[in-house]
Structure formats: structure tokens, C-alpha cells
A and B are shown apart, each in its own frame.
Chain A
């Protein structure tokens, strides 16, 4: 059962434009959400997180939005840069475990 879904396997955007990556979850017990970024031949690294008591968290060019009623979160990257090209994993956690989506491969074209 895929409790965390990233329905877009890939996304391509132009440098300087906005990248929007989406994630849906099914388990209402999840109350903490994270985005990880993964470059080839490296492990995932933490990017940004949000607690369920918030609907937005911002860190520089990265903003995560949470819509609890829709069980949906999104990651906005503005402006997108070629160095942002990577696979982005959404993760959701409750008290005891963390579940990951399948990832979205972002390509930012110069």
C-alpha cells in the first residue's frame, strides 16, 4: 500500500521559473512531512519539513505548502536553478515511522 504518492515521475522547467512538486498521502495519522533531495550516486538529503500545525514553511528559495483537508503537500522552488536538478522525495511520518513517495525527477534547463 502506497501511503505517500508522488504522481509525477518527472518535471522539466526553465531556469529562473518556478518548480512545483506535488505529493499526496492517505494516512490521516501523519503529522510531519519532509522533502528530501537526491543527486545521482548519493543518498537522500533533508531539504525542508513542515508540521501539521502549519500550512506553510519557507526556507530561502524553497517553500512547502500543506493542505491537510486534501491530504496534499507541495514543494515550490523559486527561482529554479540548474543545480536543483535532482530527484525529490516526499516523506510523511507519525510517531513511529516514516513513509516515502517514489520521487519526482526535476530537470532545470539553462
Chain B
């Protein structure tokens, strides 16, 4: 069972470059999430989606964009990478919102230099 798959696992970007972090899930979950984890901090929600075509901002959305054209895919776009975006990014999905277990991908470690 693949679950939630994230690509790439690692990436180094130069300041000002752009990239897309890919996330796909095969559990037919409506809800999908993007988090970032900085050292010594908890997971911070960047964006989430409650279904195809519907996205909304989380706690720390600045500098990021998302789209949800299918149930399976929820890519995260960084348009102008900044050193403050150096972090580990996790994608997750769940069957419902709030009191539902979230299933996480293995993460993407991004460095912006």
C-alpha cells in the first residue's frame, strides 16, 4: 500500500528559484494537507484542501501556492524561494477533518541557499 507519496525527498534551491513539491495519495481521501516542520517546532499547516477544486490557507501560507485538480494530487508550489523556506515539508491526507487520523508522506527536505 503506497498511502501518501511525496517527491522529491531532497532538494536544494537557490534564492529566487521556483519548484513544485508533489504529493499523491491512493486512499481516496477528500482532505489533504501541507505542513512544514522547522527545527524544534511542531508541524505548521501551510495549506489544506477539503476536496478537488477547494483549497484554503493554513497558519503559514505566505510564499506558497497549491492546487487540487484531482482527489489524488495536491502539489505545493514555491514561486520565489527564500532562505526562510528551508524546512522539511510533509503532505498528509485524511478521510475527514478535525477528529480524523492524518496519514503522512515521508517528507521533502528543502534547503534554500
Which residues of A come within 8 Å of B, CB atoms?
2, 4, 6, 9, 31-32, 34, 36, 41-46, 49, 51, 89, 93-103
Q: Closest Cβ of chain A: how far from B32's Cβ, in Å?
A: 13
With A43-B4, A43-B90, A43-B107 known as contacts, the answer to whether A98 contacts B102 (CB < 8 A) is yes
Kindly list chain B residues whose C-beta atoms are within 8 Å of the C-beta of A49.
Answer: 101
Find out whether the CB atom of A89 lies under 8 angstroms from the CB atom of B102. no
With A41-B106, A43-B107, A44-B90 known as contacts, the answer to whether A100 contacts B101 (CB < 8 A) is no
Q: Closest Cβ of chain A: how far from B9's Cβ, in Å?
A: 8
28 contacts between A and B (CB under 8 A): A2-B42, A6-B42, A31-B99, A32-B98, A32-B99, A34-B101, A42-B106, A43-B6, A43-B104, A43-B105, A44-B90, A44-B104, A45-B103, A45-B104, A46-B101, A46-B102, A46-B103, A49-B101, A51-B99, A89-B42, A94-B98, A95-B99, A96-B98, A98-B102, A99-B42, A100-B35, A101-B42, A102-B40
Interface positions, chain B 29-45, Cβ under 8 Å from A, are 35, 40-43, 45
Which residues of B come within 8 Å of A, CB atoms?
4, 6, 9, 35, 40-43, 45, 58, 90, 92, 97-99, 101-107
Kindly list chain A residues whose C-beta atoms are within 8 Å of the C-beta of B9.
Answer: 41
Q: Which of B4, B35, B43, B99 contacts A93 (CB 8 A)?
A: B99
Kindly list chain A residues whose C-beta atoms are within 8 Å of the C-beta of B35.
Answer: 100
